[in-house]
Every structure is written in C-alpha cells, then in structure tokens.
Amino acid sequence: MAGVEELYKQFGILADANEKAGEHEGAFLQILAAVKGSQAEKRLASQFIARFFKFFPKLQENAIDAMLDLCEDEDNTIRRQAIKGLPDLCKDTPEHLPRIADVLTQLLQSEDPAEITIVRNALTSLFKMEPKGTIGGLFSQILSGEEASRESAIKFLSSAVEEYGKKVLHPSPETEEYLVEEIKKAMADVTGEEFRTFMTILSSLKVMGSAHQELADIVGEQAELSQPFQPGDADIVDRFISCARQAIPYFVKGASAQTFFTYFVESVLPKLNEVVTSDGEDVKLEILKLCAEMSPHGLTDENIKAAIEPVYNLLLEYMPLPPGDEEEKSAEENSEPKFQFSYVECLISTFHQLAKKNPEFLTDTTAAERLKDFRLRLQYFAQGCQVYIKQLRLSLQGKTGPALQEEENKIKIVALRTTTNINAVIKDLFHNPPSFKSSITLSWKPPAKTQASTLTSPKDSKDTVVDEKRKRAGITPIKFDLPPETKSPKKSKPSTISVYTPPGRRAGASNGVVKGQTMPDGGRGRGFRQRGRNRGRGRGWRGGRS
C-alpha cells in the first residue's frame, strides 16, 4: 500500500501549504497520476483532485481528464465517487462548468439507477450554482448529441426548470433569454412531444410572461403554415392540430389568431372533407373545434370578411332545409334526417363570432334571401335540437354525484351542453335583426361551476332572469317552445311574451324521439402516429397529441 501512503504524503504537503498549495505542482501531478493506480488510490485521487483543483490553473485540463477517466472506471463505487466530485471542480472555476455539464448529461445514459440519481443530483447542483453554464452544457447534447442523450437532456431540463425555475431563473433575465434562444435553435428539429415540452418551459419563464404573441408566433413557425395542407398526410394533419391546440391559450391571453385562422380558411377548409377519420377519432371534428376556439381572438376585418362566407356555406351543409310535403312523406317512409350536433356547434359558434363583427353579412339589403333561407334552416334544426334536449334532460334528471360520473352520463352531459349551446346561438340569430349577445362555453371546454346543475334542471333559471330584465326594459325576447321535462300539477300562467314556435314535428321526430342524430362524444382524440416526415436528423412529428 505504498501508493496510498505516498498519496497521503502529497495530500499533507498541499494541505499544509493552504493558499500557497499552487507552489507544489509536483505533489498535485503525483495525485493525478494515481488515477492509473489501484482501486484505493483511485478513490483517494478523486477526492484530492477536487479539493486542490483551483490552485493549479495550468493543470486543470489534465485534472478534468483524470476525473473523467475515473467516471468511466469499471468499479461502480469509483465511478459514483468521481461523479459526485465533478461539481466541486466548478465552485471556484465556473469557466469549466459547461464542459462538466455536457459530460454529466452524457452520463445520464447509465444503466445503473443509483448512478443516474447521482448524475442528476450533480447536474442539479450545477444548475443551482450557475444555470446559464449548465444550460449550455445541456444544449450541447440537445443540439448535437445522440438521440438518447438528447432525450435525457430535455427531460432533465424540463424537470429542473419546473422545480427550480422561480428561484434560479426568474432573478436572471439574461439567463432566461439565453434559454429562449437555445430552445429556438433546438426547435428546428423536434418531435411533437419535444415541442410541447419546450413550449411548457418557455411559458414558465418570467421574460415570456407577457410575450403571448411571440409564443404564438413560435408555435406558428412550428406548424409550417407556409406549406400546403395535405389532408392525406397524417403527419401534416397531426402537426396542424397539435400546434393549433398549443397556440390557443396564447390567443385567449391576447395573441392574435389571424395567422392560424387565415391558414384554416384558405388551406384547410377547402380540403376539410378529404381529411380521413381513423383510429376512432373524427379528425375533421377536432379541426372544427379548434376553429371555433380561435374565432373570437384578434381577427382583422380582412380575416373576417374572407372567412365568413366559407364558414357559413359549410354550416349550411349540416343545417338542412325543412322537407316539403313529398320529401316529408318519403322521409317518414324511409329514414329520419341525421342531425350532426357536434359539427353544428363548432360551425354555428364560429359563424356567430364572425357575424358579430360583420353583421352586414345577414342584415344588408342584398342578403334578404340569404337570411330568409337561413332562418328556415334554423327553425328546422331547432326543432330537432329541442326534442334531443328533452330526451337528455329526462335521462339525467335526478342523477347526482357518482351517477353523473358514469361514462354514459358524462357523454349525455356533453351532448346536453352541445345542444344547449346551439339553442342559445339560434335564439340570437333568430332575432330581427340578428343579435350577437349570447356567450357560450363550448361543450368540450370545462364548464362553469353552476352550468352542470343548470343544464340538468327542468328550467333554465339564467334565461328566466335575463328575459325578466328584457321585459322590464321593454324588449320582447324570442323564446323557443321547449317541451316540458316533467309533468307538473301546477298550471302555468298565460304568457304575454311573443313565442317563436319551430315547425311542427316532421321527419325529425317520431313520438318525441329524434332518430339518426349524432351524439357528441366530447373526446380529445387519438395520439400522433408513430411515423412522420424526415426533418433534419430524421426526427419526425411523432409522439402523442396533448
């Protein structure tokens, strides 16, 4: 054990010298040489190198190489000890931190769970010590490393920012801005999952707290809105849906949706019927949902004028005219009309938002025939909608708590929200001139706290209050003659309100039952396919949609 004794002797020389340890270069060189010695010498060497590293600037590169040799030793106890000592090399010499962070990032690929924990702890120490340098080391692997190393680096970065971002990053705008620039570089070639992770990180940064438009623009670049929409390419369709979904929170906070919405109107809408439903998801419906969510946010007059007619024409495809006598007889003998409530909710709410800012589309003197035709369709669709509302309310009546959490009842609640939303918008549009005062929460969005109980109650108390206010103001509201949900022994008072009555039950109803309607399911859809276009390093737009 002469080697160990010699090491202790050299340690004593350096320790006794205190701040003048740098004058004893020979002692430090002997310690460096010990990394080629016995197991005991290696363990001591890793401790002594970290202790006296700062005193020998000319030997620091050699010392780092020696420590890295120990990090690759066959003995896992030596590896772990050396890994623990790496952050100590940076305490007084932060210029080496990016390199050490780069090395530790590569070591995340270890197959030893205990070793990975030590590596993560070491990286966390560096992140709290000097976040900018650590970020530089991580992105060295994210931008240029092997695929597995890149994935590990992104995962660590995400967890570190989530846990320590407020304490470590927020006080340093310079570091946050550096992180933003590095993420933008990495986004040149990302999977769908990596993209969402990066956007989550960006959204958490203090410097991006009010940069909603910049974040929306970053998403827009990732969506490749300058490229043609190809409905048969699952990768392109998935990319558009995922990016639009990612951008909507920024639109809600004030960013303009005009770039996405213009792309939808000009590129997606003309080819919407070519989008294929697969894996149990109605992709076309998912796109229409996103369109409805985008429509209230930051559109220009030019956007609205360009979009309103195509959206209106598509809405008409799902809102048929009432059948004539011969058509009615034929329909009764053959099949009932199919009301696709989910599609109509998306399109009628989008149209409502657009027409609110361009009412002339319905009220201009040249639009008289259009409005007349539209109201016939609204009447006919309202009748089917009301019958369906009655069925749903009767089905849900009396159910509370656990019963409402059953999957079947959850679907019915979403269906009830869908039809109630449609009903509210139709009321608005049937005013003369059309009104745009209704505000709805789309059925696939979280409902207001009181909305669920209101929906399943026999009467819509909110509408009653609003109507009373209108009466006091001298306004005669238009109401739909909804069938009663329950029999009541009390006789209602004669109403002095003008009531709009939809056409009588035709082919849309039979004994109070609407046949052939499409039940809204409120689902979020499937995940990304595990394939995609080759982009740069071959990283396709794969992963799962959020």
- Confidence at 48, pLDDT banded by 50, 70, 90: very high
Instruction: Provide mean pLDDT across the span 465-484.
Output: 42
- Confidence at 508, pLDDT banded by 50, 70, 90: very low
pLDDT tens profile 423-439: 999 999 999 899 999 99
- pLDDT at 19 exceeding the cut of 50: yes
Residue 451: predicted pLDDT: 55
- pLDDT at 455 exceeding the cut of 80: no
Residues in a beta bridge with 278: 281
- Which tokens belong to 221? 């670049």
- Which tokens belong to 191? 């999977």
Residue 528: predicted pLDDT: 25
Residue 417 CA to residue 425 CA, distance in Å, equals: 12
Are 87 and 103 contacting, i.e. CB atoms less than 8 angstroms apart? no
pLDDT tens profile 243-281: 999 999 999 999 999 999 999 999 999 999 999 876 778
- pLDDT at 491 exceeding the cut of 50: no
Residue 447: predicted pLDDT: 79
pLDDT tens profile 371-416: 999 999 999 999 999 999 999 999 999 888 888 889 999 999 999 9
Mean pLDDT of the chain: 83
- pLDDT at 525 exceeding the cut of 60: no
Residue 461 CA to residue 78 CA, distance in Å, equals: 73
- pLDDT at 489 exceeding the cut of 70: no
Percent of the chain with pLDDT over 70: 79
Residue 308 to residues 112, 282, 285, 301, 318, Cα–Cα distance (Å): 60, 24, 19, 11, 16
Distant-in-sequence, close-in-space partners of 422: CB < 8 Å, separation ≥ 6: 341, 344, 345, 348, 381, 385
Question: For residue 189, how many other CB atoms are within 10 A of its CB?
Answer: 15
- Which tokens belong to 334? 């053959």
- Which tokens belong to 393? 């309310």
> End-to-end CA distance of the chain, in Å?
60
Question: For residue 541, how many other CB atoms are within 10 A of its CB?
Answer: 25
Domain boundaries defined on the chain: 210-299, 317-324+339-444
Confidence (pTM)? 0.76
- pLDDT at 284 exceeding the cut of 60: yes
Residue 216 to residues 203, 220, 258, 282, 382, Cα–Cα distance (Å): 11, 6, 11, 26, 37
* Amino acid identity, position 454: T
Residue 546: predicted pLDDT: 55
- pLDDT at 117 exceeding the cut of 90: yes
- Confidence at 449, pLDDT banded by 50, 70, 90: low
Distant-in-sequence, close-in-space partners of 166: CB < 8 Å, separation ≥ 6: none
